[in-house]
């Protein structure tokens, strides 16, 4: 996959963005992160919001859903 979680994590384990070369890479990296969050939480806003609150990030108002259409 051209864009992936590996594109936004540097060799020391920190977030980086300099490896994203185009919007296609950005889209694929974001899609992979979305799928990882979904896999870890079942997409349940209650689970996700627990972590968002601890990071002082805005809360989700709906459960996440995986798009099964291609």
pLDDT digits (tens, 9 = 90+) for 4-15: 888 898 999 999
Two tokens, residue 26: 């950005």
Give one word for 55, left, alpha or beta, with left for phi > 0 and alpha for psi -120 to 50: alpha
Per domain, the residue ranges of the chain are 5-54
Q: What's the DSSP call for residue 68?
A: -
Q: Which among 35, 43, 31, 38 has a CA at the least distance from the CA of 3?
A: 31
pLDDT digits (tens, 9 = 90+) for 14-41: 999 888 888 888 888 999 999 999 999 9
Q: What pLDDT is attached to residue 21?
A: 87
Instruction: Report yes or no: 60 and 45 within 8 Å, Cβ to Cβ.
Output: yes
Percent of the chain scoring above 90 in pLDDT:
60
Residue 3 has pLDDT above 70, yes or no: no
Residue 1 has pLDDT above 60, yes or no: no
Residue 2 has pLDDT above 80, yes or no: no
């Amino acid at each position: 996959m051209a864009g992936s979680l590996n594109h936004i994590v540097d060799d020391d384990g920190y977030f980086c963005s300099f490896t994203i070369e185009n919007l296609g890479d950005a889209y694929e990296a974001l899609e992979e992160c979305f799928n990882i969050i979904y896999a870890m939480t079942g997409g349940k806003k209650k689970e996700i919001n627990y972590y968002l609150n601890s990071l002082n990030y805005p809360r989700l108002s709906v459960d996440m859903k995986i798009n099964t259409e291609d």
